A and B are shown apart, each in its own frame.
Chain A
Amino acid sequence: MEKEYTPQIIGFLCTWCSYTGADLAGVSRLQIPPSIRVIRLMCSGRIDPLFVTKAFISGSDGVMMMGCHPGDCHYQKGNYYTRRRYKTINSVFESLHLDTERIFLSWVSASEGVKYAHVTKEFSDKITGLGPNPVKKEIFL
């Protein structure tokens, strides 16, 4: 029997809000798909579009960017850059005919463990539906 396909997803989370929210999901014993691999950053503003590309090249099937809600950034403005960079990545992917559905941005606060569980499950289900990332083997660079 063929083994059920489990995607690999990289999540870039800021430590102050989203990472704390993810911890809370664990403390609350909410179930998170094992497909999610979290990389902790001080601020989501550290997310460079290159990280996303790098994650896909390294074999990721999806990439999540998560930070504090707009207006709540620990560093005041970092997540506005995240939002802008998310748009940039999307348009670059579009112009290369790559699948933008595999990139996901969400604001998760330190108290939103339930939201974290919810959005990670939804995204993981979506990626499972899309199947393995077709570009990961053939991408240039």
Chain B
Amino acid sequence: MSKKIGVYICECGTNISDRIDIDSLIEEISSLEDVGVAKKYGLLCSPAGKKYLAEDIKKEELTHLVIGACSPREHEQTFMKVCLEAGLNPYLFQMVNIREQCAWMISDKEAATRLAIKYIRAGIKRVALHKSLEKIELESNPDVLVIGGGIAGIEASLSLAGPERKIYLVEKTDALGGMTNKFAQLLPHQGANLSIVKDKIEQVNNNEHIEVFTSTAVEDIHGFLGNFEISVTNQEKDSEKKEFKAGAVVVAIGFGLYDPKETPAFGYGDVENVINALEFETMISSGKIVLKNGKPPASVALIHCVGRKEKGYCSKTCCLYSIKFARYLKDKLPNVDVSEFYQDLCLPDKSDQNYFEEAKKKGIHFIQSDEIEIKDINDRIKVKYKSAEGKKEELSVDMAILAPAMVPSQDTPKMAEMLNLPLDETGFFKEAHEMLNPVATPIEGVFVVGCALGPKNIPDSIVQSQAAAGKILSTLIPGKKLEPEVKTAEIREEFCTGCQTCLSVCFYGVISFDEHKGISIVNEAICRGCGSCVGSCPSGAIKIKHFTYPQLYREVLEALR
């Protein structure tokens, strides 16, 4: 079919016509190949302008459209809609910016006109190479898979569940609650005992829109936003397998603790009555704070920052729960002598400072120290340290409680591989953007919340779960179809050598390797159309729609002519 390109130059009131000699521009370009009509109009984006344009497209039976006007950032969408109304595929249209980046930038009218001619000619030659592209609509499942039944996973499930949205909450142990199950109590201002956690677990169990799987492992997840396919197996009931679909995934697999044995100086496992924080929580729960010999301790050292230097980050929560322990000790054993050995005190939240001041009033000693070494000397614990003044000091105590750094949960690497998620240098999951997009990941529809993203306390974990829920609620609207990007990458089978370079280039995990065919394939439903992969392919096998080599080469060539 022969082409008939329509070229319309907008005067933009006088914004463009004052600065560019539109008549000579039109004269220059109207004789170019395939240009059927070349006209000017006062204000194309006005209701009258749009109507005129739509009618003209139909009347002139245009096959392609070029508009010289403002920036495509301003009105490309507007004119694409006009194309649709006029029955012209909106991708057979090219918008040329002769206002912002021409008329308004170049005060010499002759020079501006010359440049506008080049830009318009480039647009005409480019559009002649355009192909129609069709928007597709995809069904989207509003349900959500939540992995991990700690406080973060619980909160995400509660925030998301509803009559039109089912939640699958998968927990690998036999109970919900996560790390908090090992605690005797929370910080006092977080409510008595563990009531907030217990209440939430009860709400989950009573919520008919949440299906809880305990003692269950996620075996496989594949798919993309709106269309994930999941299989899980129950570790107890003869590995009973279940399969279901969900539109989004929330990863809330929590954290583990640094093993103090990795730093022998802390004496853990070696020196009697040196225990870690979780062991102390258990001791509190049992109601008896005693040494190995059954007697209560007369003095206790709380050691902060165990593994902080080794891991290279602060775990944010240990200072506060160590103060929680000290206050607990003072309440139960009023005469006990308690010393907190810290490197830096981390008291970031608004109630923390007060909590710390009160602890000092109770007579708890706070010792800034470094180079801690815990030794067994004549059956007593000796804590050797370097004081803030740089002096070597030591203190004998009956018991030492270590606050180990929070480290990534042991399943993190496996989960990262399954979902194609990146980890950062600390080994925790990496955010899509730490500041701008803190609970999203590069994989659309997959979110990470709570301590799986890094150390934090319960309130901050809850904030993240609510944030992820907000994101999901606003994208996965029940009944709404998804409209994936149209200008996507495409791998041409006959050129691909299967080198898999593109797999590592695509940040969104869009490309996968087809073992059977020995080539790579693009999942067009999730490609964002950035084009980064295109230039990385040594075989030139990747093509990106609407920004193809021929289209861009032609644009370059004409802009220089």
Contacts and interface: CB of A to CB of B under 8 A. Distances in A.
Interface of A: 8, 10, 15, 19-20, 22-23, 25-27, 29-32, 34, 37-43, 45-51, 54-55, 58-60, 74-78, 81, 85
A43 B122 CA distance: 20
Given A37-B119, A75-B507, A81-B536, A43 B556 contact: no
Interface in B504-541: 505, 507-508, 528-532, 534-536
B532 A26 contact: no
B78 to A, nearest CB: 16
Contact of B101 (A23, A41, A75, A76): A23
Given A37-B119, A51-B556, A55-B556, A45 B99 contact: no
Contacts of B433: 76
B345 interface: no
B547 A46 contact: yes
Interface in B416-454: 432-433, 442
B115 interface: yes
Q: 3 closest pairs, A vs B, by CB? A: A46-B531, A45-B532, A26-B100
Contacts of B36: none
Interface string B487-507: 100000000000000000101
A75 B559 contact: no
Given A23-B100, A76-B442, A81-B536, A32 B106 contact: yes
B104 interface: yes
B105 A31 contact: yes
Contacts of A19: 71, 73
A60 B111 CA distance: 18
Interface in B21-74: 71-74
B544 A46 contact: yes
B556 A48 contact: no
A101 to B, nearest CB: 19
Contacts of A48: 534-535, 549
Given A26-B101, A32-B105, A34-B106, A43 B552 contact: no
B557 interface: yes
B105 A25 contact: yes
B524 to A, nearest CB: 15
Nearest to A22: B101
